[in-house]
Structure 1
Amino acid sequence: MTDLWLILALLLLPLAAIIAWPLLRPVAPGANAVDSNASADLQAHAVLYREHLAELEASRASGVVDETQYQSLKTELARKLLSEEGGGYRMAAARQGGRGLLFALAFLLPFTAVGLYFYWGSYSDLALYRDIAASQTGATDLVAEARITQQLRARAGSHPEDLTSRYVLAQRLLVSNDLAGAIAEYRYIVAREPQAANVRAELAQALFFASGSQVSPEVVKEVALVLEAQPDNATALGLAGIAAFEREDFAAARAHWQRALAQMPPGSSAAQALSAGVARAEQALAEAGGGQLQQPIAQVPAASTSGAEESAVSGSENRISVKVTLSEAVQASPDTPVFIYARTEESPMPLAIVRLAAADLPTEVVLDESKAMMPGRSLKTVDQVQVVARLAINGNARPAPGDWQGEIKLLPRSDWSKPVHIAIDQQM
């Protein structure tokens, strides 16, 4: 927040300096002489008034003027004195009162402006935005990640019209494997912005994961709506290819995956996965006797033509076999969620994750490319990981106080081929 305070200072301090300038500038030559002359004039007028008043009182006492004339002349004498001295009094009052006002403005204005900013401004929103930006670069820890998600939940409740913050929340929930929460947020957005095809595609993806990687009728419906609005949406094309493959329409599956592949950066993990899918579809076509389509389809780029072979090789390299046990000292209901995942030391976001229940332990799971949560972030992209097994007492995918976990703090790629063991025995 340092730059914010610097900007506020740059805006407010010059204004305060301008207000205080009359107090700080040197007194002009002769200004003191003018003030002395004005003071002497005021004293002379006062002496002259007292002399005239004494003469007037003497005239009343001798009977030259009666009481009525005395009061009238006295009033006129006082009016004349005030008219002659009024300018001097006003100048002195302006000098003294003006300095006090300038002092007050110079000090109060900056504090008032800062106070109004905190009351009416978006200080908390700016802080949340900075935390999210830090999270995306991996510069946050688990406590900060949990705080960000909680703040996004609170904002979603207090600002129902802020769909952008809700969308960020949905993505975070999806990555943390809180599929029910992610689906609820995606549905909220789509209900208010039905033309948001990208959001609808992510909703279809979340529904696909929630159904155990099965293409449900709702997934098919959402994918159809996305492709109607965006025929080249890679997420929807990938799901459409899976649906076609499941119904053994291998030609359609190959066509969908090839179109999705054209949207992916060459060499990315998503492109490699799609290349492997295209190879599977072509193999299934050949086995079914339909290797040649009546309408030619664009070939897979040369760098990906050996996708099946690369997938077989990378499948053996980019996998970690983990045996997970639960300490006897840990008491939990059988349906308590257990999250087993691999991540980098720099980022809390999982590269591969599996969700089980306490009743499933002890067990052995495999973390590989198929367990990746986001395109472009998988085991293939790193050379060392942390492996964590966590018993989520509160059922939250995000770590929370009271959870139990075990971990391997550093597992280099050279040891991935060896089975590892994690005992859940440490309370957070």
Structure 2
Amino acid sequence: MTQFWIYAALLLFAALMLLLWPVLRGRKDQAEEDRTALNIALYEEHIAELEAQHANGALSADQLKEGRLEADRELLDDTDVGRPKQSVNLGNALPLIAALLVPIAGLGLYLHWGASEKVELTLSLAEQPKTVEEMIKRLEDTVRLQPESVDAWYFLGRTYMSEQRPKEAAHAYEKTIELVGRQPDLLGQWAQALYFANGNKWTAELQSLLDEALSQDPNEATSLGLLGIAAFEDKRFQDAIDAWTQLSKSLDPQDPSYQAIQTGIERARSSLAETPQASAEANASQDTATAEPAPATVSDYKLLVDVTISDEVLKQAAATDTVFVFARAESGPPMPLAAKRLTVADLPASIALTDEDSLLPQLKLSSIGRVKLQASVSSSGDAMQAQWSSESILIDATEEGVKHPLRIDQKN
């Protein structure tokens, strides 16, 4: 931005020189005219003196004539008679007034119609952002200055979702759809953001959005995944199985999300088998009394986490503020797989996340290879409205016995 103002100042200086040149040139011409007038006055005085000497008899006629010729030659040498005198004087005030008004008017017009903010934004975009917050700030500046930028709105929505800000993400996806139309993948991501922003509550609006998306693309991944989650939480296990089975058909078996979806399907099938209707059907088909069910096995999987808080955050947070420690899959559903709730007074603390802490019964923490760990502090008790958080770290969840440190020291 400094370079821009330097160039602007140089152009302004050039404009001022063009305006002030007549004034400067006029002063030079005036000095030359004054010198010419003095030379003429001296010439006339010299001629008068020669004539007086001739009248007194001191000079002959030839001497007077020769004196006149000598005086004429001297006058011609000292006077530029080839340039006509200026007959029109525009004055010095007008160029000076214009020289003062040009920079003032130019600056005012540029501040009103110029694009200094866009220039500054363009220069900042040339540099790689150092933090997620800096990237979000640049995207927010881009959509504010260039509201028709589809890419900026879309990536802003994705970034908001990755930072657990679904309400803002829903707005960004809505603006993207307004610009490019109701494409199925965008409808699915919009519905997903609205679902989490609404506290995981299903609404007719969400159903309508997913119906529209799947009518255009029956294999739209985000829509199928969200349908399965909503159906599972509503204990419609067969609907969840159907949605996730359809989704798994379009995934590469090597994709980390594929195994997560398969785990969800198996969990839904197990839950379906335990429903009263399924139990009644099983009892009717058996000729003998059912055997007592075997006790469910409990996984001994533990993901160890050490949670600390910086002194700066500790001074601002209350001892009763809620601390959330959660794990999310590296890829796949953006919602946490497992979480634990503490208070600021409990910190520092060493905890273990297990399959029993799962927020999504269809996805076991032990079944996910790589997860993102993060801790946050919320004064309202709402994880989506946290004021401080730790850096999100990516770990290999299969490495048991390793303690993973999280330090809450960043303001959201």
TM, length-normalised to structure 2: 0.48
Larger radius of gyration: 2
Structure 1 length normalisation: TM-score? Answer: 0.46
Higher relative contact order (CA 8 A, sep 6+): 1
